[in-house]
Chain A
Amino acid sequence: MDATALTAWLREFARLVAENKDELTALDSAIGDGDHGVNMDRGLTAVVAALDAEPPETPSALFKKVGMTLISKVGGASGPLYGTAFLRMSAAADAELDGPGFAKVLRAGLDGVVARGKAAPGDKTMIDALAPAVDALDAAFASGAGLADAFSAASEAAARGREATVPLVARKGRASYLGERSAGHPDPGATSVTLLMRAAASTLGAAG
């Protein structure tokens, strides 16, 4: 996986977010401040514009540009959270990534999200989708799976993780102000992570 392949992944992520912007916003309106879709779309639109203007040459440079753009343009908490994830991925990324290498980079991103948000699994946050996705990726590569199967497994794990957030009561972020009323809805952040992993399956997974 080089910068070009990874750029394709993130462009697809941006497209999926734009396509599901209203759904994300609706989810966030139910339990948060109703801006997740708009914020992520604004941030990722800026990311695409930045990538168009000057295509990065290495995965590290790519992730850095994405991270910096997100922390500046998203506006909500997902800005620093996604942004930190990509900045940590930038620091962890080698010039060329194989499957396990990508898994390692994505785990660095997950660690960044955990460090920034101080949330734990079960707090009804994006971690509830991202952590199982990273675990699934690791497990798949450890069992010798190819990119297609691994990314497909990761995408499914993220989706299951997202579903599992439905009954949870939020303990972090704006949704935590709602207490018990936050139960019964999926977490918007976990939902956008499923889009990120679905995009990975259809781009990075297909490339392999």
Chain B
Amino acid sequence: MTVGLVVVCHSRPLGRAAAALASEMTQGRPVAISVAAGLDEGTFGTDAVAISEAMTAADDGDGVVVLMDLGSAVLSAETALELLDDEQRERVVLCPAPLVEGLVAAAVTAGTGGSREEVAAEALSGLAGKEAHFGTSAPAEAGDGSAVVRVLNPHGLHARPAARLVTEMRSFDAVVEVRNVTTGSGWVPASSLTRVTTLGALAGHELAVRASGAQARAAVEGFVRLAADAFGEVTEVLADPRERYVNHPTTGPALHRGASTSHHYRVSGGSLPEACGQAGIVDNSDVAGGSAKATGGAGDTERLLSGAPSSPGIAVGPAIRLHEQPLQIPDEPFQGTEAEQRRLDEALTAAHREIGQLSGDIFAAHVVLLEDAALLDDARAQIAQGLTAPRAWRAATDRAAGEFDALLDPYLRARAEDVRAVSTQVLRALLGVPPATVDGDGILLADDLTPAQAATLDPTRVAGVVLAKGSPTSHAAILLRTRGIPAVVGAGPVEAKVIALDGSTGEVVADPAPEVLADFHQRAERQKASRDNARANAAKPAVTTKGVTIHVGANIGSVEEARAAAENGADLAGLVRTEFLFLGRDEAPSEDEQVAVYRAIADALGGRPIILRTLDAGSDKPLPYLPAPQEANPFLGVRGIRHSLAHREMFAEQLRAIVRVARETPVSVMFPMITKVEELIEARRLLGDVPGLRVGMMVEVPAAALRASDFTPYVDFFSIGTNDLTQYTLAAERGNADLLALSSGLDPAVELLIQNVCRAAGEKTKVAVCGELAADEAVVPRLLAAGVQELSVAPALVPLTKQAVRAT
């Protein structure tokens, strides 16, 4: 396919020159560009008849895209359309892009075989480069009604920050519009959540905002402020994204980080016991197809199933079900536009009231959907066309959900579920169908749960949940975990009278035989006893059965976590992430401020040793005072020591602060992301020779692990960050739920690297592991066997890790 182009402008030389410029871009692939410009060589003007002829000349049957300069060019091009026959007119797109930029972009796309719509869309985004160029250098020119900002949120503008944006922008008396400059999207109203999330704005993308109306300027300023604040997602930006999925203090062997109420929960593979081996996203068809199998010897009816472990804990009880009337839209006569609209408004108010009573970020996003201008306008338009309120609402929400379904980003695509959940809620109110109820006390079996259902289950009645469908990343799973209800999801259809489940392993037994039931009860007891025991012995040293003492430390990122570490019996702070001091502020912390915080951490730990890791910044968590260029892959970019060596003044200040604290209390320092020996030597040179200060390096990059012996002369200890070492060794992003099979557990390749580091370290250099594998009781013996002498885990996991050491 080759779409033709038509240039319409006042000056013939200008038109010809623009066409020549664009032709250079098509790289030999001929694109028909017809010029209809000027009345003659020297007379400015446009000629509708000539334009219609140019449209015909450039059209090979694939149609044409017309680019115009201004004024009469636009009017004449429109007039020219009237001169074409209907069939040909259908194939002409008049594109409002700027002439030169638009023509160049259009020619490139036409040359690669793009459709008319694609060519026109590219032409429209032809200004993106220029806008980005000037936009970044002057992001918030006060006074004009526009600005360009960068998305700081690690997961982009997903539902929650988008909801915040929409809520804030609606509070201004202004018409505010946003577009994604990076992808070259069109403008969408900032008042519409569905439209804003279709921008597909990911971390690092640039958004342009423009506003008109009485408070236009205030709205733009508010937008810029909000963007700088990561649209209210401060804690997420503060957290080190590479550590985001590390276990976090909760009771027991928590599966997932504490920020589990957030939408972008990801499965943390390493902490799942090897035995469960279930991928995070469950393929329901497989599970449903054949996971139920008889267990040898047990009762006739017992069936053992497996699903994805979603919320830890053991639960046993009678199977109960949700009772829910189906939502069927009746065939009813249209009551008139006003009556139908009133029905819909009343249902929206009712749904609003119900959702408002639920706690959870997801529901804030749902409330915003209920107020979404685009969605409501669409429903209104459907009613105006004679659809009843339920049909209009379903049509509008189906369409909005469909738009999300079509997006490339899997996270945004999943927002279709939010739209469907809200759709159901409102339809229920419209049709007077009561919410689902549970018929008794026990283990709830369901196909899936809506977020609202998961949020309203009564934990005193529902001891556990088994879902046939869903994934551990669904809102329902997150809410169950937050609420401490043991759950297994993606288990396939289950029919049973009694259910036993282990939310830590994904094990589900339908109608267990008495001995199995007894086993579950015992396991529940043991789990409780083991936790109690671990807690009771938390403060005691962890000594292996062979009599070797292993120090178990805590990974911390705040003074508060330092206190939690002390309470949980940590022998030291094996990893102090100093990023929390540097992110989310306008200027770097001063030396004195750093000293005060490091001192407070040491105090909280009662004088136990602390290992400070120097700043591990990267372009995925940019420091406002050190603007970083956008990187295609921040995890392979300028981060850790690379970043520090590129910003030496700030690095030197941090080193000075560390040295000062080291004079008062046992402190070690280590450098992140060391790859080459030269980096380590340079970092040590900047640190200087400080008597008594132990110096180490993180081993996260496979290159460093492989060459450990080359680094040994320059360090007192190695600290192996297994999260990143696994990610980099297996080329598998840890946050990607589809790659759990690759990234969970201790991979043999990573084990070989750890063994190599221990061998190279020899007697004098200590080796520690500070990734989440250090808390995995199945992995601890293998780490100790390799020669690891120190473990560091999330504060809440210290007691259990010590127990694992004692069992080794």
Contacts and interface: CB of A to CB of B under 8 A. Distances in A.
A80 B49 contact: no
B75 to A, nearest CB: 4
Contact of A173 (B39, B46, B71): B71
Interface in B696-721: none
Interface string B723-760: 00000000000000000000000000000000000000
Interface in A111-165: 116-117
Interface in A46-86: 68, 71-81, 83-84
B45 A39 contact: yes
Given A84-B79, A87-B82, A173-B71, A79 B46 contact: yes
A174 B75 CA distance: 13
Contacts of A39: 45
A187 interface: no
Nearest to A77: B72
A35 interface: yes
Nearest to A81: B75
B44 interface: yes
Interface in A8-66: 35, 39, 42
Contacts of A72: 47-50
A72 B45 CA distance: 9
B76 interface: yes
B48 A35 contact: no
Nearest to B46: A75
A116 B76 CA distance: 9
B351 to A, nearest CB: 40
A73 B79 contact: no
Interface in A80-96: 80-81, 83-84, 87
A39 B47 CA distance: 12
A6 to B, nearest CB: 22
B71 A77 contact: yes
B670 to A, nearest CB: 63
A75 B71 contact: no
B48 A75 contact: no
B84 to A, nearest CB: 13
Which of the listed residues B44, B45, B46 has the most CB atoms from chain A within 10 Å of its own CB? B45
B71 A79 contact: no
A205 B80 CA distance: 34
A79 B78 CA distance: 12
B39 A71 contact: no
Nearest to B44: A75
B241 to A, nearest CB: 48
Contacts of B44: 35, 75
A71 B71 contact: no
B72 A80 contact: yes
B71 A174 contact: yes
Interface in B18-73: 39, 43-50, 71-72
A13 B756 CA distance: 97
Contact of B78 (A42, A116, A173, A174): A116
Given A35-B44, A83-B79, A75 B50 contact: no
A184 to B, nearest CB: 22
Interface string B571-611: 00000000000000000000000000000000000000000
Given A71-B48, A75-B44, A75-B46, A80 B39 contact: no
B45 A76 contact: yes
Nearest to B47: A72
Nearest to A75: B45
B43 A79 contact: no
A78 B78 CA distance: 13
A173 B39 CA distance: 19
Contacts of A174: 71
Nearest to B45: A75
A179 to B, nearest CB: 16
B51 to A, nearest CB: 9
Q: How many A residues are at the interface, by size bracket?
A: 20 to 34
Contacts of B48: 71-72, 79-80, 83
Interface residues of B, number: 17
B49 A75 contact: no
A74 B46 CA distance: 8
Contact of B75 (A42, A87, A117): A117
A80 B76 contact: yes
A116 B45 contact: no
A10 B43 CA distance: 25
A35 B78 CA distance: 21
A74 B45 contact: yes
Contacts of A80: 46, 48, 72, 75-76, 78-79
A76 B38 CA distance: 10
B39 A73 contact: yes
B78 A75 contact: no
A71 B49 CA distance: 7
Interface in B69-104: 71-72, 75-76, 78-79, 82
A201 B50 CA distance: 34
Interface in A165-184: 173-174
Contact of B43 (A71, A75, A83): A75
A71 B77 CA distance: 10
A75 B72 contact: yes
Contact of B76 (A35, A79, A87): A79
B72 A116 contact: no
A148 to B, nearest CB: 34
Contacts of B82: 84, 87
B318 to A, nearest CB: 70
Interface string B327-354: 0000000000000000000000000000
Nearest to A70: B48
Given A71-B48, A74-B45, A80-B48, A116 B79 contact: yes
B85 to A, nearest CB: 15
A90 to B, nearest CB: 12
A203 B427 CA distance: 68
Nearest to A78: B72
Nearest to B40: A75
A138 B207 CA distance: 53
B10 to A, nearest CB: 8
A161 to B, nearest CB: 21
A28 B395 CA distance: 52
A75 B75 contact: no
Contacts of B47: 71-73, 75, 79
A149 B750 CA distance: 100
B81 to A, nearest CB: 11
Contacts of B39: 42, 73, 75
A175 B50 CA distance: 26
Interface in B333-379: none
A75 B683 CA distance: 70
A81 B45 CA distance: 14
Interface in B770-793: none
A109 to B, nearest CB: 14
A81 B79 CA distance: 9
B98 to A, nearest CB: 16
A35 B72 CA distance: 12
Contacts of A81: 75
A156 to B, nearest CB: 29
A77 B10 CA distance: 11
Contacts of B79: 71, 80, 83-84, 116
Nearest to B71: A77
A64 to B, nearest CB: 11
A80 B45 CA distance: 11
B49 to A, nearest CB: 4
Given A71-B47, A71-B76, A83-B79, 14 more contacts: A39-B45, A42-B39, A71-B49, A72-B49, A73-B47, A75-B46, A75-B72, A77-B71, A77-B72, A79-B47, A79-B48, A79-B72, A84-B82, A116-B75
15 contacts: A71-B76, A71-B79, A72-B48, A73-B39, A74-B45, A75-B39, A75-B43, A76-B45, A77-B75, A79-B45, A80-B48, A84-B79, A87-B82, A116-B79, A117-B75
Which 7 pairs between the two chains have the least Cβ-Cβ distance? A75-B45, A80-B75, A71-B48, A77-B72, A80-B79, A72-B49, A75-B39
